[in-house]
Amino acid sequence: MNYGYIITTGGPAPGQPTDAVRGSAPRTIAQLAGEAEAAGWDGVFFWDAIAIGDMEIYDPWVVLAAMAMRTERVRIGAIVTPPSRRRPWKLARETMTLDHLSGGRLILPVGLGALDDAGFGAVGEPTEARTRAELLDESLAILQGLWIGKPFGFQGRHYRFDELAFRPATVQQPRIPIWVAAAWPRERSMRRALRYDGLLAQAHDDEGRSTELTTEHVRAIAEYVSRERPPVGGSGPFEIVVEGATPAGNAQQAADRVSQWAEAGATWWVESDWKARAVDSIRRRIGAGPPRP
C-alpha cells in the first residue's frame, strides 16, 4: 500500500471566514508538500478546478511546479484533471515539462470532471457525459502519442492534426502513469481504466447513481482487474486508488481504517478531507504521517 495526501486548501469554502485559511498561497501549498515528504508520505496531490462558488482556486500546473521544486521523492499530481476542457497538445506539453521538472515523478489522474465547477457550462465547455467521455478518450490517445517524442498525428471525431515533432519525450516511458476515475460496475468506465495504469475507485448503484464506495466494491474491482486487464500495460503495476480521511491523533485507529482497504485490494490510500481548508489542520494531519500499519 502506498499513501498519498491531497492538499485541499486553496481558499475559503462558502460561508467560511477568510482568516481560517490565511497563508494558503501557492508557496504555502508547496511548503506543505515538502513537509509531507519529510513525514513519510509516498505521494502529494493537488486538485484541478476553474471556478467553484467563491472559493480561491489556484492553477494546478503552476502549483505542481512549485511542489516539484520543494520535493525530491514523492509522486505528485492533480486529482483529478478533466481533459475535456483542455487542449490535449497543451496538456501534453504541461505534463511533459512537469515530468522533467520532477525527475519523473508525475502521475496524471483524469476523469470527466465535476459539473459544479463553472469552468464547464458557464464558459461553453461540453457538459454532456458522452461528449466529455469521447474527448477524454481522444485526449489520452493524443497524450500517449505525443509523449514518446517522435512525430505523431491524429485523426479523431473531435481532434485532427497532421504529424507534430513533439520533443523532448517524457522522462517516464512508455508514458507518464495515468489513473482514470472509474465507477464500478459500469463496464465502459472500467474498460477505459484498464487501458492505463490505475483507477480512482468510485461506485454506482443499480440505478446508475453515485453511491458510497465500500471495501466490497474494491474487492470486486480488484478481482475484475486481475481477470480482465490485458497483459501488456504501462510502466508498472496497475494501481487501485481509494480516498478517505483518517484521524491525526490516533495512529492505530487510522491504520486500522486503512488496512481493510488494503486487504480488499487497494494499492493506494489517498488522504482527502475535502472539508479541510485551514492550513494548520492540514499541517497537523500531514505531520502525523501516513496511516501505515
pLDDT tens-place string over residues 16-35: 544 444 445 899 999 999 99
pTM of the model: 0.93
Domain span at residue 196?
178-233
Domains contained in the chain, number: 2
Residue 244 counted as domain residue: no
- pLDDT the model gives residue 130: 95
Q: CA–CA separation, 240 vs 269, rounded Å?
A: 9
Q: CA–CA separation, 226 vs 275, rounded Å?
A: 34
Q: CA–CA separation, 288 vs 280, rounded Å?
A: 12
Helix (H) or strand (E) holding 94, with range, is helix 88-101
Which band of pLDDT confidence, cut at 50, 70 and 90, is reported for residue 231?
A: confident
CATH number of the domain encompassing residue 256: 3.20.20.30
- pLDDT the model gives residue 233: 56
- Picking from 6, 105, 1, the residue whose alpha carbon sits closest to that of residue 60 is 6
Average pLDDT over residues 130-154: 97
Residue 293 counted as domain residue: no
- pLDDT the model gives residue 12: 45
Mind listing the pLDDT tens digit for each residue in 245-290? 999 999 999 999 999 999 999 999 999 998 887 888 999 999 999 9
Q: Is residue 124 located within the same domain as residue 88?
A: yes
Q: Is residue 189 located within the same domain as residue 71?
A: no
State which of 233, 260, 275 marks the end of a domain.
233
- 203 in Cβ contact with 214 (< 8 Å): yes
CB burial of 20-53 (b: ≥16 within 10 Å; e: otherwise) equals: ebeebbbebbbbbbbbbbebebbbbbbbbbbebe
